[in-house]
Chain A
């Protein structure tokens, strides 16, 4: 009983880590721009594909050993994925923003960008799934009936490190303070001499970079890639971000781990087809109870 509980907790932490890593991209962009970047789930997918190509290149063309390849793949994936995110910002979102379009038009554009990423991938690489090469040897540990792999632990540890890093960035660095300042008042910030566009680009770099990292880790854990892999997980991560309290790094992690936990628990007790039904119902109930999320501050209307 205890073993299965611990086993489930480990699984939940691993799933939650993926959700959290993706959710933080939503939350960072939302915090700064109040833009729901619906393309973010697909940026995660692109990250996984980039990791796939970089890894294959390192292993087969360069003939590097797996661990060397991994050391190269991590930064390269993050950099290339963040380029994708920044490109979206530059060509699709920024011009609209500068034209003063209604916020929701930017959201719709983001949705369209997501569709383009998905289907361009499908059109170029076909519907066949890609098998991600093994970069490190997966070790299975079994302690007292609880099994876990080095990969699972790595995923969970990474998520926590990323959280600490981002928390540090947002609370302690100048650029993090500028990010928070923008979320309070977008109009006053440029007047204070803070370069708005640079901060926004930095936000997209952070969000997409970590989505790329999540893509890499996901591909290593579940080494089958397909173009739609980012869509559902992206929507779910977004919901997790909101349930946690969107615009807040802590919220993304709280929401991500919560969603991971709920899903693993549902699967443990119900048929797996009930997973979405029950987890979404739980999320809906939480949002009805606390409309601005678990760590979010209640909205106040001032008149």
Chain B
């Protein structure tokens, strides 16, 4: 297997070893390995049902793997609930936007900082000094984040009333508000028109530069992937079938077969 990324001597942000996930008789992910280095912007592609989202679900702790290990910054996540994994520095977006629709945009951002609120029921009820300081900091940070994302004018709107593209953007902003080291984007361009997609490409690149974050994304729009990612991994039926830089992947016969079928070539 081609080992990429050897030049940095940093520890990987995400390391997956021999990850396997079975649902009953179905093996959704089979012996999957990956190493993401800090600052990498990498992609995961594959035909529908290839197991991409399952990998993300495993990384974010939503499923417990049948076999294999996931390490975030060297820390194994086995047995951790998703909120603990998030606290380790993983944030994600969803294929179908999952914002809290009856909460204001600002609150969406604030609640996503739940793990590092630093106070509990007692402080919340007593409205202690500590509580007030923390709430102020959180509100401040949320407001700044909205401003950075140019969403501040929607601060008191409800997400369900925002245009689709803005909701996507908000979801990414919400994910970033938990200060992730690793950001998982699950089909961020799904449902966007071509203008929105151009905007998204700019946004992802800008986030990658501005926030000190490693990005791993799933996307069906090849142009998005080709333009953004330095590394792409292709999976089909849970198996890794190709990996490398966009050009290499694009011309890989196995990828062609997976996407288009045997008889095309």
Contact = CB atoms under 8 A, between A and B. Distances in A.
A–B contact at 8 Å CB threshold (below): yes
Interface of A: 303
A303 B95 CA distance: 7
Interface in B61-81: 62
B84 interface: no
A303 B94 CA distance: 7
A100 to B, nearest CB: 15
7 contacts: A303-B53, A303-B57, A303-B62, A303-B94, A303-B95, A303-B96, A303-B98
Interface residues of B, number: 7
Contacts of B96: 303
Nearest to B60: A303
A303 B55 CA distance: 12
Contacts of A303: 53, 57, 62, 94-96, 98
A303 B96 CA distance: 7
B26 to A, nearest CB: 13
A303 B171 CA distance: 14
A303 B62 CA distance: 9
B114 to A, nearest CB: 19
Interface in B84-116: 94-96, 98
A175 B96 CA distance: 33
Contacts of B62: 303
A303 B92 CA distance: 11
A303 B98 CA distance: 9
Nearest to A300: B23
Q: Sorted from nearest, which 3 A-B pairs have the closest CB atoms?
A: A303-B94, A303-B57, A303-B62
Nearest to A301: B62
Nearest to A303: B94
B63 to A, nearest CB: 10
Nearest to B98: A303
Interface string B8-20: 0000000000000
A270 B172 CA distance: 60
A302 to B, nearest CB: 9
Contacts of B53: 303
A303 B57 CA distance: 8
Interface string B166-185: 00000000000000000000
A149 B53 CA distance: 61
Contacts of B57: 303
B96 to A, nearest CB: 8
B51 to A, nearest CB: 14
B50 to A, nearest CB: 16
A303 to B, nearest CB: 6
A303 B53 CA distance: 8
Nearest to B62: A303
Nearest to B95: A303
A86 B62 CA distance: 43
A161 B184 CA distance: 55
Nearest to B186: A303
A303 B52 CA distance: 12
B102 to A, nearest CB: 12
Contacts of B95: 303
A201 B150 CA distance: 51
Contacts of B98: 303
A201 to B, nearest CB: 33
Nearest to B56: A303
A303 B184 CA distance: 13
A11 to B, nearest CB: 40
B55 to A, nearest CB: 13
Contacts of B94: 303
B95 to A, nearest CB: 7
A79 to B, nearest CB: 45
B256 to A, nearest CB: 29
Nearest to B92: A303
A141 to B, nearest CB: 49
Interface in B124-161: none
A149 to B, nearest CB: 48
